[in-house]
Each structure stands twice: as structure tokens, then as C-alpha cells.
Chains A and B, each alone.
Chain A
């Protein structure tokens, strides 16, 4: 019998025995000590399973006073769900020592999980119980968390398996730790072949020129080093069968507490996009070639005809001149359409060089000198003397000045005035072109930068125009990092402004430029 559980027994039995009193006293003291100071719950039930004695830990754990327990049936304190266990304990206790997990109700209504060790000693039932509520709580919480994680994993798995993009996850050592089915399908490798391999060495990437991409430029490598997402759509993966696969790659580092613990490499097959892109380029080139050939023929033949003026009547010369001018308009329209399709395709090259804007506008004005003189227009340029050169693409910005000035000349009466002002404002250089011409009706000012828009009032005075100029230069200014805006009053004139960042325009690789 366990010494700790025997205080009462000893007390009862000692009276019937004639052992030495001193020895009994010491034993009594020790058992009392263990009974009272143990961290386990000790309690003694009588033959009817009523509380006979409980220790301190029992009272503090369950919150009852001694008088609330002693003499009462233990069943009253059993958690209802565990009554059956308690009943079997009652039956079994006569024949065997056994452990039970039976919950007791605390005074505050809560439940204590107890592991009972039970021993029947004569008419008494001795119980040593261990409180494992907190352990149970942790266990439950873990179970719940596990279940949640399981559900979460099922969701993520479903997404990764069904997503159209290839996904390859790597660990901090750059080894492939996950491959979704799409990635396997796109690349032709199985997950067994890929798992554990170093991604940047195992899967070969080629650039547009068919050269192997150097390690420093591999998106996932760059992403892990910079701790930033890297997007790249100019490379091709080499599939297992050796063929090339153009892909758009998004490489993202997995960062935990500022440490890179892995990465995710997501990619998608862009064969079709590249093909469409190539076809678009081809179409533009083909269209420019095909449309320009007959236009050139008409231009040159009417020119040849006009060369032999002596054989023509004045009226015939005039008719010929009309044909020539209409053809010129057609050429202009084709050029404008080509420029628009180029800029809309995003394939325009931007080649910034340090440019003196005043010099640029003076060149444009020189080209327009004839038209200015024809209409007897007063043109003044005013610019801040200390304007810095800025990094912009002069071919593109020249187009903006040319268009704004041509518009001003076209839509200003004979003898009108045009003022050009270039100034600096904060981090920007503002160019302003004002005229005292026909202006734009208020009701149509919202459409000024729309494709093919021409205001009603100028359609009557000037039939020549494509309605594409302002649309195009807005696209140019936007892609140069600037803004364009205007103010206009019908009959009073218009002022257009556009800004360019002093910091300049970042260069952009492309395939085409304006006016080719």
C-alpha cells in the first residue's frame, strides 16, 4: 500500500496495535505531511462512496470547503459524462486496482480532468488523483490547430493543384521542395525528378538570343537576394525534351522575420502571347509597306505630271495640285495610324539623351517658319535662361512641340499670335504653347485627347486634320513621365501645357520608333 494514502488507516489501525508509540507518532507525522502538501489530489471515500477525507490540494483545485464535501456522495461531483466510468469503478474496486480518467465538477461549474489511482482498503476507498486539465487543454488546442492546419493545407493543395500556372517552391538552400502538377506538365519533368534538385542549376533558362541566362539574372535568384518580387517575361525554359518554352516568371521570396526561408517560382506558358506579339509587329510593318507603296507611286507620278507644267492648262495644274495634297493627307494619316499602333503596342523605343528643350523648340519653329510667315503670325518664345538639359527622347518630344505648334498655326486666324514659354516648376519643366485662335468649344473639351476627335468649330475653317495628333502626343507625354493639359475658350484661343520630369525619362527597350 502506498504510504502516502494511509494516514487514516494508520490512525484507525494504530489503536488496535501495541507497537511502540514513538514510532507510530513519526509515521503519523510523515503521512500527514505527504497528505497535506502533495501536489496531487488525495481523497478517501467510505463504503458508500461518500467523501470521508480530502487533502488541501483537492480543496484548492476544486474550490470546495471541507464541510461541503464530507459525507456527501461523490457521484454528485462527477462530471455527468463520466458517471458510467465512475459506476464501473465502484464495481471493479473490490477486485482490482485500476486507473480511471474521471472528470470532477469544480465549485465554479468548470471541469477538472483527473487521473484516478484507486485502492480499496477494507471499507475505505483511497484515491490519488492527478490533475491533467492544463495538459488536456493543450492537447485539445493542438488537435484543433492540427485540424485547422489540415483544412488549410487541403485548401492550398487544391489551389496549387488546380491553378493554371506552374508553381515550384524552393527551400532556403534553393532546392526544389514543391512542384505542382501544372509545372510538371509544362516542363515535362516529374516531381521525383525535380524534388531536391537546385532550381537554378537544374532548370535551364534562355534569354531572347538563345543564350543561357547568367545566375545573377535568374528571377528566383534575384528575388531571394533582393527580398523582392521579380517579374520577367523575356525568358524561355528548356523543357525535358530539349524544346524551348517562352514563359512569364514571377519569383517571390518567402520572408519570415526578415530572413529568407525559401522562394516561390510561378510561371506560365506565353507561347501564344509571343506569337501574337510577333504577328502584330509583322502586321504593322507589312501595313506600312503595303499602304505606302501606292501612296508613293501617286505622289511621284503626280509630281512628274506637274513637272511638265507647260503642257497643262491652269485648271489641270490646280486639279493635279488637289490630287497631290489629298495624297499627302493620306500619307500623313497612315503615318499617324502607324504611330498610334506603335505606341499602343507599348513597343516604342525611348532613348533619353540630355536635351536642351529651347534648342529643340527652336529647330521645330525653324521648320514651321514658312507656315508662320504665310499666315503672318507673330510667334514669340520665352524661356528661363538657366534651364538644365534634361534626359528625354528628343525624337518623341520634338513630335509634341511640332504637333502643338502646328495646331496653333492651323487654328489661329491670319495675323494671330502664338506664345511659347518654357519654365521650371519644382521637379518639372513646363512647356506652354498659347494662341489667340479659334479655341475649343466648352462642350467638347472633354474629348480633346480622344482618338479621331476634331472640334466642330474648326471643321468648318480647316478641313485638313486627322484627329490623331493630340491623342498621340498625350500618349508620348504619358510614356515620358509627364502630364499634358489645356485651357481654352471658344473665340479667344487655347493654351496647352505639358510637363516633363527634370529627373528625366527612364530608357525603354522596344522595337519601333515614331515616324519610320
Chain B
């Protein structure tokens, strides 16, 4: 599951992940993502989360996630444009698995990191 409010970035990420064989649920808002989580047959292996979203920030999203025990087990990789030390510290404390800066990484590298969190990402052929 990818939550990213910038549509162009979301398109690039989705494209790349699909090319790598992932099944992708794309969301531009946090509330939309939470709705999907309620309805999805199978919970996502990993969540790609942008920190700043139109309806809530990363911390608020983590809080919502923690309220449902199944959801709280999903690894969350935060990929944001800004990473002040307080933000990173808070997010990791609230259960995020990793906090990465967007512009610092090639898409390929980010996808490789995502792969580490999926149960053998290769099996997820579309």
C-alpha cells in the first residue's frame, strides 16, 4: 500500500512497484488508506507512507493504525521530503520501521528497501 498525496510521485512509485512485481494499492489520502484497510481481503505486507498528507500527518496515521491490533503489525516505511530529527524520532517511536528522504534515493533503491519488508516480495507476482 502506497500513501502519497502527490499524484505524479504516486504514479512513479506505483509504476515502479508494479514493474517489480508488486500488487499495489495507491492512496492519496490517509483516510482513504484506512478505509481500504477495513475492506481489503488481505492486509498489505508493507505501507509506504508520506509524512505530510492533506488530511492528517504521519503521527496521526500511526496512531490510527495502532488502534487495530492487526494493522499495527504492518511494517510502515516513511518516505518524506523533510525529516527533522524530532519527526524521525517520533515516528520511529510510534512504530515506523524506517524513515527515508525522498530526493536522496533512487526509486530502485527505495523499492529494494520495501522488498526487505515483504514476505519474499518475489512471490507477489501480479
In the complex, A513 has a CB within 8 A of chain B: yes
Q: Does A13 contact B (CB under 8 A)?
A: no
List residues of chain B with CB within 8 A of the CB of A288.
81-82
Cβ proximity bits A270-312 to B, threshold 8 Å, 1 near / 0 not:
0000000000000001001100110111011101100100000
Knowing A513-B85, A516-B88, the reply to whether A299 touches B6 (Cβ < 8 A) is no
Which of B9-17, B28-36, B90-98, B113-121 contacts the other chain? B9-17
Chosen A-B contacts, 14 in total, with CB atoms closer than 8 Å, are A285-B82, A292-B102, A293-B81, A297-B6, A297-B8, A300-B12, A301-B12, A307-B19, A331-B104, A349-B85, A513-B84, A515-B101, A516-B83, A516-B84
A304-B81 contact in complex given A292-B103, A516-B88, C-beta closer than 8 Å: no
When C-beta atoms are compared, the residue in chain A nearest to B5 turns out to be A293
The answer to whether A297 and B106 have CB atoms under 8 Å apart is no
Q: Is the CB of A304 within 8 A of B82?
A: no
Say whether A295 contacts B85, CB under 8 Å: no
Please name the 3 residue pairs, one residue from A and one from B, whose CB atoms are nearest each other, closest first: A300-B12, A516-B83, A292-B81
Q: Which residues of the partner chain B approach A238 to less than 8 Å between Cβ atoms?
A: none
Query: Which secondary structure characterizes the binding site on chain A?
Result: helix
- Residue in contact with B15 in the complex, picked from A295, A297, A304, CB distance below 8 Å: A304
Query: Contact residues of B with A, CB < 8 Å?
Result: 6, 8-9, 12-13, 15-16, 19, 52, 81-86, 88, 101-104, 106-108
A512 on interface, CB distance cutoff 8 Å: yes
A288-B83 Cα distance, complex, nearest whole Å = 10
The interface size bin for chain A is 20 to 34
**A152 interfacial by beta-carbon distance below 8 Å:** no
Q: How many angstroms between the C-alpha atoms of A335 and B82 in the bound complex? A: 11
> In residues 167-213 of chain A, which contact B (Cβ within 8 Å)?
none
**A304 in contact with B16 (CB, 8 Å):** yes
Tell me which residues across on chain B come within 8 A of A296, comparing CB atoms.
9, 81, 102-103
In the complex, A297→B104 CA distance in Å? 12
Question: Is A123 interfacial (CB-CB < 8 Å)?
Answer: no
Return the chain A residue nearest B51 by Cβ.
A289
With known contacts A289-B52, A304-B16, A304-B107, A512–B9 Cβ distance under 8 A:
no
A376 at the A/B interface (Cβ < 8 Å)?
A: no
Residues of B within 8 A of A292 (CB): 81-82, 102-103
A511 close to chain B: CB less than 8 A:
yes
Contact indicator B9/A289 (Cβ below 8 Å): no
Q: What residues on B are CB-neighbors of A289 within 8 Å?
A: 52, 81-82
**Extra contacts besides A293-B9, A300-B9, A304-B12 (16): CB < 8 Å:** A285-B84, A289-B52, A292-B82, A292-B103, A293-B6, A293-B102, A296-B81, A296-B102, A297-B8, A300-B12, A301-B8, A303-B16, A303-B107, A303-B108, A513-B84, A516-B88
- In angstroms, how far is the closest chain A Cβ from the Cβ of B97? 18
